[in-house]
Structure 1
Amino acid sequence: MNRTRVVVVGAGIIGAACARELAVAGFDVLVLDRAGAAAATTSHGEGNVLVSDKGPGPELELAQLSRRLWPEVLAALAERPPSSHHAPDEPDGVDTVEWDPKGGIVVATTDEGAEALLPFAAAQRAAGVRAEAMDDDALTAAEPFLTERRTAAVYYPDDAQVQPAGAATALLTDALRAGARLRTGREVLGAVTRGGRLTAVRTADGPVEADVFVNAAGPWSGEVARRLGVPLDVRPRRGEVLVTTPLPPTVFHKVYDADYVGAVGSGAGDLQTSAVVESTRAGSILLGSSRRRVGFDDRMRPEVLSAVAAKALKLFPSLAGVHVMRAYGGFRPYVPDHLPVIGADPRLAGLWHATGHEGAGIGLSVGTARLLRELLTGGETAIDASPFRVDRPAVLGDAVDASATSEEGS
């Protein structure tokens, strides 16, 4: 059994997945979080497990790996016997994942949108993605309340959804069953190094020693890295979601406008919105999405919520009279080249990173964890890990500026 001591910094979906993967493999794992498990970015997402929004390349390969792993991981969770007890700050329950392989439909509502969507889908098919063009009759049968103003549509049967906080809790619970430990309210304040190697992280409760440290702190990863002496250009990018009151069955897949792909891949700091509409098992409809870089400013902006609602109504006009019962927003870990950061930090031995997934962290979590474990153990990796390496220019280029994580809106 591998008893390498690993500290995972961050108990969101990425940290939980990494902790589980390593604990099940026999590592001695301790998870530290500045607040509570799944309490920040993870609890403010939609739970997307998508291949539809990623063009051919390394992120799609990671998404395909994760999509293959999710059912395997969920099956393993279901086979585990329930835990007999939990410490006060440990999560409980694995029944709230709400895995729903509902499939996704991307809809173009303009001629320009169709001209972009169909070649994009063709390139995805060449990369192994199931992407099926839909005629008008098939689209109406699949989504009867969708706008009649559509010019093209593509169905992605492998798109799925989970309840994000529930999924993170289930992964973390399984890690604890395998021997991992969780300590919440433990903020990383600095580094203890010896001979150029990270040997401990400083917290208000004293140093925490380990052989390996994994920075999985999401939007705060840049700040954690800076405190450890190795700046990393991971910044917060904010998004908001509207939640309607429960409705009769209205939306049957994850449906989004073709311009969503462009918003995901843009590096613009100003507000971008695109229509993303899907139902939950409780009957509510989630309306997204927005993207804007405002540092860690967590104020809700009515104009942002209005823009999100307006885009959603273009796809589903019948929602015009529906009541919105709440709205929520959160920060996603943004990297300028839109690729996660996974692997060892060459500047500080003992430090590894698993971050930078922006809004795709839920879906990419289990693949990221698998890749991290394979890299840590020196084995063959399921996919090429080099595009996610830490020392690429997009990650280190602006990171020397200590204000990089809060420069927008500060």
Structure 2
Amino acid sequence: MRVVVVGAGIVGAACARELARAGCEVVLLDRGGAAAATTAHGEGNILVSDKEPGPELALAQLSRELWPRVLAEPRARSATTTDGRRHPGEAGVAEWDAKGGIVVATTAAGAAALREFAAAQRSAGVTATELDDAELHAAEPHLTRGHTAAVHYPDDAQVQPAGAATLLLGDALAAGAVLRTGCTVTGPVRAGGRLTAVRTSDGTVAGDAFVNAAGPWAGAVSASLGAPIDVRPRRGEVLVTTPQPPTVFHKVYDADYVGAVASDETAVQTSAVVESTRGGTVLLGSSRRQVGFAEAMPVAVWSAIAAKALRLFPGLAGVPVMRAYGGFRPFVPDHLPVIGADERLPGLWHATGHEGAGIGLSVGTGRIVADLLCGRTPPIDPAPFSPNRSTVAIEEGT
């Protein structure tokens, strides 16, 4: 089977990896450079802590199970290399850090909501342990004492996004996939009502199946192919401090982060998310706002992010911020990824709509796509992610 994957971000790379390793002939197309857009502007979150029981949590749990295996496989193969060359997907580039997460409430209402949320997650198999004051101070000595509850999630982890995507892409290429960059999809070629090729800015590319993994641009790609789905860009920003002595030891965020993720508000939403990197910098997030593909990063958004981060870690007040970056995430109105075959156009598949969770959910998404395309039963039920659901598929003429 020849499969064309549109989008070489981390989700597209994960799909290409699984498909190529399953024996498919894979061509990976990207309008720009590999992992150069949404993936390069993320924090690298691999979270179970922010997802309520349901399909997305099941996908997060699958992905969390797969990530260590995915990281180990290229490392094992590179160790057997006989020509002395380093495999491009060697696991160290991903900077895997199974640091765990701590969710903190700072109000009485927030504490009650956090405890209820954690109890529901525990019923779905998530390890979520409430910390008392002494335990929290031992885990995060620089955290504010003005908290009302804290829950530890040991399964939360972090990767360096571009590095992780490089690993997945290197593995796909090693299995025979071909990458073509600077290649924008412009339209379909159909035969007998089926998608048989895509027209691009660099010629026509034929295939047996086509996976739309274009992230925030997936809506535009699907529309250009005549089967539009409701995937929109939602912008987020992150601040990066100068390197610091060890200050933050887990991914720490305010309990209101979950509400911001699930919000449909078009105006800016901010919540405190604070974590360190292997290089010693501290990442401060997060924001969400629907502004189309506008590139501007208003200082007011940076200020709101910083102010909320300081509520959790007051000691960061004198730390310089050396840069800020922002990017677009694929937003879907019902907040579920879009994974599966499009019934309106045989041959077209989708793997998008993960919004800010794409890094963490990428490997599980790739596994589901490959299983479905190869006629295998996926490890979790893919039905809730169907692109044919009414909240996603856009009827022609609307």
**Per the shorter chain, which TM-score range?**
over 0.9
1:4-403 counterparts in 2 under 5 A?
A: 4-81=1-78, 94-397=91-394, 401=398
Q: Secondary structure at the match of 2:94?
A: coil
Q: Which amino acid aligns with 1:51?
A: V
1:333 CA displacement: 0.2
C-alpha deviation, 1:205, in angstroms: 2.0
Contact 1:233–1:399 (Cα < 8 Å) also in 2: no
Alpha-carbon separation, structure 1, partners of 2:201 and 2:61: 40
Amino acid at match of 1:155: H
> Relative to structure 1, is the Cα distance of residues 399 and 334 closer, same or farther in structure 2, using a 3 angstrom cutoff?
farther
SS of the aligned residue for 2:104 comes to strand
What is the alpha-carbon distance in structure 1 between the residues aligned to residue 10 and residue 347 of structure 2? Answer: 22
Amino acid at match of 1:379: R
Mapped partners of 2:83, 2:227: distance in 1 = 41
Alpha-carbon shift at residue 233 of structure 1 (Å): 0.2
Instruction: Supply the RMSD in Å over aligned alpha carbons.
Output: 1.6
Work out the CA distance in 2 between the residues paired with 1:84 and 1:395: 49
Q: Where in structure 1 are there 5+ consecutive unaligned residues?
A: 402-410
Q: Secondary structure at the match of 1:95?
A: helix
Deviation at 1:77, TM superposition (A): 1.6
Output the CA distance in 2 between the equivalents of 1:102 and 1:343: 32
The alpha carbon displacement at 1:380 in A equals: 1.5
SS at match of 1:313: helix
Distance, in Å, in 1 between the alignment partners of 2:254 and 2:72 is 32
Work out the CA distance in 2 between the residues paired with 1:340 and 1:162: 20
Shift of 1:300: 1.1
C-alpha distance after superposition, 1:34-65 (max 9, x if no partner) = 00000000000000000000000000000000
User: Is the CA contact (8 Å cut-off) linking 1:103 and 1:253 kept in structure 2?
Assistant: yes
**Other structure's SS at 1:6 match:** strand
Deviation readout 1:363-403 (Å, 9 max, x if unpaired): 000000111111112222201110000111110257854xx
Amino acid at match of 1:216: A
CA displacement, residues 113-166 of structure 1 (integer Å, 9 cap, x when unaligned): 001000100000000000000000000000000001000000000000000000
Closer, same or farther: CA 143–224 of 1 in aligned 2, 3 Å: same
SS in 2 for 1:96: helix
Distance 1:276 1:400, change over 3 A: farther
Residues 246/45 of structure 1: CA separation in 2 closer, same or farther (3 Å cut): same
User: Contact between 1:94 and 1:169, CA under 8 Å: does it hold in 2?
Assistant: no
Q: Is the 8 A contact 1:5 1:29 kept in 2?
A: yes
**Secondary structure at 1:308's aligned position in 2?**
helix
SS of alignment partner, residue 93 of structure 2: coil
Instruction: Mark the CA change 1:214 to 1:147 in structure 2 (over 3 Å): closer, same or farther.
Output: same
Please give the secondary structure, in 2, of the residue aligned with 1:396: coil
2:47 alignment partner AA: L
Measured in 2, the distance between the counterparts of 1:72 and 1:332 equals 26
Cα distance in 2 for partners of 1:39, 1:30 equals: 18
CA contact (8 A) 1:222 1:231 kept: yes
- How does the TM-score come out when normalised to structure 2? 0.97
Q: Secondary structure at the match of 1:348?
A: coil
